[in-house]
Amino acid sequence: MRLFLSSWRSVWLCALWLLASSMAHALTTEQALALARGDSDERIATIGALAASPDARGTALLTALAEGRVRVQDEQVLIVGDADASDAVTGAAATLGDSAEEVIVNNRIRSALATALAGMELVGGTPQRQRAAALTLQRSSFDEPDADQLPVIERALAANLDDDARQTLELAQAAVLLASEDAAQRLAAAQKLGEARKAIVRPLLLQRIESESDPEVKAALQSALASLDRSLAISSALGQAFTGISLGSILLLAALGLAITYGLMGVINMAHGELIMIGAYATWLVQRLFQEMLPGAFDWYLLAALPVAFAASAAVGALMERSVIRFLYGRPLETLLATWGISLLLMQAVRSLFGAQNVGVENPVWMSGSVVLFGNLTLPWNRILIIVFAALVLGGVALMIARTRLGLFVRGVTQNRPIAACMGVNTARIDTYAFALGSGVAGLAGCALSQIGNVGPDLGQNYIVDSFMVVVLGGVGQLAGTVYAALGLGVLNKFIEGQAGAVLAKIAVLVFIIVFIQKRPQGIFALKGREA
């Protein structure tokens, strides 16, 4: 019996302790009124107290105050919903009368609310919400460093945080400590910010250098700024190089099919851009099919779209060659005019089937997002994968031309058609196969381009001129020249664009190509000996 009473006494003591704890942390009427009617200092102190010991009522009141849904009616603080109102302290339903006054929130209180709510998200939110809340705190601490933010930041750092959110918060903490009265704290904060390698830190360092009085801290700030500038310069150069290689890979994909049809076969195909466009629309159709019939496998639609895009463009190319182009070999002007007319026909057909507006193609999950290097260099996954895809397509085409029976026949027909025919090669069929191959590669380019831009009837017009420039600059009939020309033009364009802007960069590239062709009409890699 004594053991039974002792056990029940322990249970009651635990229950009373939990009740007392919950009541100590619960929102009180005094706190609600202070938050609604007090002066700025009193309201900010109340926000800090509620954020330090959060409960459901306090969190709801802070959220409603940030959204402008708090009213004061007599001695009662109300939270206003869409069609009703409730008491902020008890949660009981209330009637909103004509005497209810709106609670005014100034910029200082709004900033304190954002900090408090972000701190509560950091303690109990998901990793995604923690990162967003950490960025909110970082912006607040960088714009207006305030010692009142430190308790919220330190409480969040003591919790179980996502790694990215923790790094962001540590920078926010250093930004606040940089305004501290303690020189040692300012020195440590300067060293921490110098390691950040983020552009957002630079204005803060410049501002603190001007106002810093301690020589040691000022020297640390200057050292941190110099280190940051070096890091930003390196990251900027690497970023421009990456965007140049990315643009070059796109030009390579767009020009690779043309390198076959124009470089090897000598056909000036002005409808090449429309074959790229057909590949992009084929990708969109496969996406729609997966959305409606296989939503669970949507992230893999792009793998199914690749062969479909290749086959669609190859079929259109084969039809073009068999119906029109086969009668125009050796007549370049007539071929140019005929393929230009085909390009207009294809664009109008797409407008009639799918409409004149652009259609949206979504990235799969594995092509979304980015990878961050050096703290401030962001490389999108879709661009990285397109570079890899371009390399794979180039390798496949080169292997097919150099190592397969079809490639041997194509090279034979290209170099000496009568002798190839005498050796039993069906030259007409090889012409169709080669043109279909070049058209199919254009379809693969359209599939890749659909992942980085809009898909519309005019998509191919943006790449046809650039494709011809790449093929001519690299050397007609030379795949290696096409690669060098595409990557070189892409990197050159992006580096000039960073200094002079997009329009002047385009003009500079065109002038460079004109001058280069004047000096070397054969392109980068010219045919020599018997090949010529």
Q: Record the tokens describing residue 281, joined without a space.
A: 């629309």
Domain extent listing, the chain: 21-37+55-101, 108-213, 240-475
H helix or E strand, kind and range, residue 474: helix 464-474
Instruction: Tell me whether residue 386 is exposed, middle or buried, using C-beta atoms within 10 angstroms of its C-beta: 0 to 12, 13 to 18, 19 or more.
Output: buried
Residue 7's pLDDT band (boundaries 50, 70, 90)? very low
Interatomic CA distance for residues 16 and 30, integer angstroms: 23
Interatomic CA distance for residues 37 and 26, integer angstroms: 19
Q: Record the tokens describing residue 125, joined without a space.
A: 């939110």
3-state helix, strand, coil in the chain (%, to 5): 75, 5, 20
With b for 16 or more beta-carbon neighbours within 10 A and e for fewer, the 115-146 pattern comes to: bbbbbbbbbebeeeebbbbbbbbbbbbbeebb
The pLDDT value given to residue 526: 60
Interatomic CA distance for residues 532 and 521, integer angstroms: 14
Q: CA–CA distance from 460 to each of 271, 273, 325, 346, 474 (Å)?
A: 8, 4, 20, 11, 21
> Tens digit of pLDDT for each residue in 472-518?
888 766 778 888 888 888 888 888 887 777 788 888 888 888 888 87
pTM over 0.85: no
Lowest model confidence (mean pLDDT) among 111-115, 251-255, 502-506? 111-115
Please state whether beta strands 101-102 and 93-94 pair in parallel, antiparallel, or not at all (unpaired). unpaired
- Mean pLDDT, the chain, rounded, equals 80
Q: Are 476 and 436 in contact (CB under 8 A)?
A: no
Q: Which stretches of 332-426 are DSSP H helices?
A: 332-354, 381-403, 405-415, 417-422
Range from 220-234, 378-392, 475-489 that averages highest in pLDDT: 378-392
Interatomic CA distance for residues 163 and 333, integer angstroms: 62
The pLDDT value given to residue 532: 47
Q: Which DSSP letter does residue 299 get?
A: G
Interatomic CA distance for residues 198 and 445, integer angstroms: 35
Q: Record the tokens describing residue 233, joined without a space.
A: 């310069």
> Tens digit of pLDDT for each residue in 356-365?
888 888 888 8
> pLDDT at residue 307 above 90?
yes
What are the residues facing 78 on neighbouring strands?
A: 71, 87
For Cα atoms 465, 320, 317, give the angle at the middle one, nearest 5 degrees: 65
Query: What is the rounded end-to-end Cα distance, in angstroms, of the chain?
Result: 110
Report DSSP letters for 30-44, one per residue: HHHHHHHHS-HHHHH
State whether the Cα torsion 323-326-331-336 is positive or negative: positive
Q: Which stretches of 183-300 are DSSP H helices?
A: 183-194, 201-211, 215-258, 272-293
Q: Which SS3 state, helix, strand or coil, does residue 79 take? A: strand
